[in-house]
């Protein structure tokens, strides 16, 4: 059910407020362009600066507009277990297909603390959980052993969005958890390697602005046609790289503005990207054949 190209959706803003109409259009466009699923309210969607009402409404819109055409994996992460439970309970009632839950950031929990966090979520709502392991932002790194424990002991934990950048981790998690353990890349640049190691797809930043290309890349991977996948990878590599020359979602929002998808507005402490980054992003879009 959860496979292929799954954009981590940006959240459009206009004059400081969420542009809900713009978000609806973005969801429809993503599905029409071939995306295999959607993730609202992740880090790329600026969840840290959405208030609770906004967070819930964005999730609801993604579910309502998608109308079952593709699965919706609702971002429900927090460094407060109680807050994450509330977001998961809402996502379940709203009809989400799964929850994406980041390993708690800033608090620096131990491996036991991480397990207990996901156990509380598992026990609170009957909704599949995808662990989001991103040490670069959360500081802590869930070990392979703890991940295998979560998968083995918690019935709702089904997989991981892996943003460690460590391709060897994918193979180790596959051996520890088995081939049915869902492994989604959390970094576009490593998605090809993850798929070749038995992965299932990518929760993608680049897919916000190149959904059809990212979907075609994933389709080739899922068909085992890695030569075709490599052709797409070559075309997208500069764009993947450009999305992280500054903190995300700055570059992808600027790219989206160039394509007429939404404004590049973000909320503090995120600020508009530099002039040099603008040049880099524009050049990468042109190189991928998406602009000019």
Q: What is the pLDDT of residues 202-243, one digit of tens each?
A: 999 999 999 999 999 999 999 999 999 999 999 999 999 999
Residue 3 a catalytic site member: no
At 35 the pLDDT is 98
Mean pLDDT for 27-40 is 98
DSSP summary character for residue 286 = H
Residue 132 a catalytic site member: yes
CATH of 4-225, one of 3.40.50.1000, 3.40.50.970, 1.10.10.10, 3.20.20.70: 3.20.20.70
Please state the domain extents for the chain: 4-225
Query: Helix, strand or coil for residue 146?
Result: helix
DSSP summary character for residue 268 = T
Mean pLDDT for 51-57 is 97
User: For 94-149, what is each residue's pLDDT tens digit?
Assistant: 999 999 999 999 999 999 999 999 999 999 999 999 999 999 989 999 999 999 99
**Residue 1 in this model has a pLDDT that exceeds 90:** no
Average pLDDT score over the chain: 97
**Residue 156 in this model has a pLDDT that exceeds 90:** yes
**Residue 292 in this model has a pLDDT that exceeds 90:** no
**Cα–Cα distance measured from residue 281 to residue 276, given in angstroms and rounded to the nearest whole number:** 9
Q: Which residues contact 236 (CB under 8 A, 6 or more apart)?
A: 188, 206, 210, 213, 214, 217, 288
DSSP summary character for residue 123 = H
**Residue 174 in this model has a pLDDT that exceeds 90:** yes
Reply yes or no: is the peptide bond before residue 249 cis, omega within 30 of 0: yes
Given 105, 161, 232, 254, the catalytic residue: 161
Given 132, 151, 232, 254, the catalytic residue: 132
**Phi, psi (rounded to 5 degrees) for 286:** -65, -40
């Amino acid at each position: 059910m959860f496979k292929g190209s799954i954009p981590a959706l940006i959240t459009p803003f206009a004059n400081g407020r969420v542009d809900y109409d713009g978000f609806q259009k973005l969801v429809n466009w993503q599905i029409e362009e071939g995306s295999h699923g959607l993730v609202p309210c992740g880090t790329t969607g600026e969840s840290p600066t959405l208030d609770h009402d906004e967070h819930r409404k964005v999730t609801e819109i993604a579910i309502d507009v998608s109308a079952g055409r593709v699965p919706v994996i609702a971002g429900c992460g927090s460094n407060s277990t109680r807050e994450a439970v509330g977001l998961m309970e809402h996502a379940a009632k709203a009809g989400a297909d799964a929850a994406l839950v980041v390993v708690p950031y800033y608090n620096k929990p131990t491996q036991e603390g991480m397990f207990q966090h996901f156990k509380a979520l598992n026990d609170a709502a009957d909704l599949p959980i995808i662990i989001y392991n991103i040490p670069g932002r959360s500081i802590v790194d869930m070990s392979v052993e703890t991940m295998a424990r979560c998968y083995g002991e918690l019935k709702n934990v089904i997989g991981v969005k892996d943003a460690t950048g460590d391709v060897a981790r994918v193979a180790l998690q596959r051996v520890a958890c088995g081939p049915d353990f869902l492994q989604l890349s959390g970094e576009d640049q490593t998605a090809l390697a993850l798929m070749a190691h038995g992965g299932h797809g990518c929760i993608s930043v680049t897919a916000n602005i190149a959904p059809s290309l990212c979907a075609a890349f994933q389709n080739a991977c899922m068909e085992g046609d890695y030569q075709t996948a490599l052709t797409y990878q070559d075309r997208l590599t500069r764009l993947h790289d450009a999305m992280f020359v500054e903190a995300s979602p700055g570059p992808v929002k600027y790219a989206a503005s160039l394509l007429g998808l939404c404004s590049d507005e973000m909320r503090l402490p995120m600020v508009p990207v530099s002039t040099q980054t603008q040049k880099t992003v524009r050049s990468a879009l042109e190189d991928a054949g998406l602009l000019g």
